[in-house]
Structure 1
Amino acid sequence: MSPTRFAPEHRWIYVCAILLLLALVVVGLIQYNSVKTTGDAHKKANQLADELVAAGYSGPDTGGVVRTLGTDGGNVCHDPGSALKSGLWKINLSNGAAGPGQRPVISDRRVVEAEAIILGVYCPDKLEKIQDKIDDLKTDDTVRR
């Protein structure tokens, strides 16, 4: 038997070892991407919490923010200026009744500012596109602090 050849009866050991090594490399790469994404999401959530506290709001649960908004803002940043989202946004600024009792109200400016802060952290390019809609809303100081 030459020293450069593997023993045929042990070939399965080498094949299994190579397959196991490749599987570990794939799992390691997946875990690395997951940890990197989670780290980025926590960084953005902490930035959002800091900006909300600086604006006078209470700090949110950053774990919930990470799960909800991730790294890209999730559904909040998906076309916020569309007619459907604008309509739903205005419905959420109503009196809270349903059906014929639902009426528009003058919302507190701080409610609108909070959404603008979220857009500013997660998708600042989209905030610029809807800033004029935000400015056109009739708001006032309606909530006692």
Structure 2
Amino acid sequence: MSPTRFASEHKVIYWGTIVILVGLVITGLVRYESVKTNNETESKAKQLQEELVKAGYPSPDTDTIERLLGTDGGQVCEQPGNALKTALWKIQQANGAAGPGMRPVISDTKAVQAERIVLQVYCPDKLDDFDDEVEDLKTDDTVRR
């Protein structure tokens, strides 16, 4: 039996083996990325938890942080200094009344500090923009602890 005849008779085995190996490589890469992402998400969530506790906030649940912020900070890091978000945030920092009785209130310093900590952990490159936006915002210790 010649080698070319042997190879042509077993072509299906060769192609089958190649397809299986390529499938295993793709599966391995996908699983590796998933594990890497999970580890990065968990690491950032733990770092945020530690920073918040160090700043005097209650310890948040890391599972919730992982789901909300992922690896990139999610909505928090998407244009944190955006004027519309800032305006909506200022409106929400009101006395709770509606219509003519609605008055802005002085926001608590801790609320601004909490978002700053999130930005430090998840997107430190956006921190300067955030600081510029809230620089003129009047804050004080308005929430009793």
Question: TM-score scaled by structure 1?
Answer: 0.88
Q: Residue in 1 aligned with 2:80?
A: 80
Q: Which runs of 5+ in 1 are unaligned?
A: none
Q: Which moved more, 1:10-19 or 1:26-35?
A: 10-19
CA shift for structure 1 position 11: 2.7
Between the aligned partners of 1:109 and 1:60, the Cα distance in structure 2 is 19
CA shift for structure 1 position 94: 2.1
Q: Residue in 2 aligned with 1:94?
A: 94
Counterpart mapping for 1:21-100 below 5 A = 21-98=21-98
Question: TM-score scaled by structure 2?
Answer: 0.88
Between the aligned partners of 1:84 and 1:42, the Cα distance in structure 2 is 31
Between the aligned partners of 2:2 and 2:91, the Cα distance in structure 1 is 81
CA RMSD of aligned residues (A): 1.9
CA shift for structure 1 position 5: 5.2
CA shift for structure 1 position 4: 6.3
Between the aligned partners of 2:88 and 2:14, the Cα distance in structure 1 is 61
How many residues align structurally? Answer: 145
Between the aligned partners of 1:7 and 1:98, the Cα distance in structure 2 is 82
Secondary structure at the aligned position of 1:45 is classed as helix
Q: Give the 3 Å change call, closer, same or farther, for CA 16–96 of structure 1 in structure 2.
A: farther
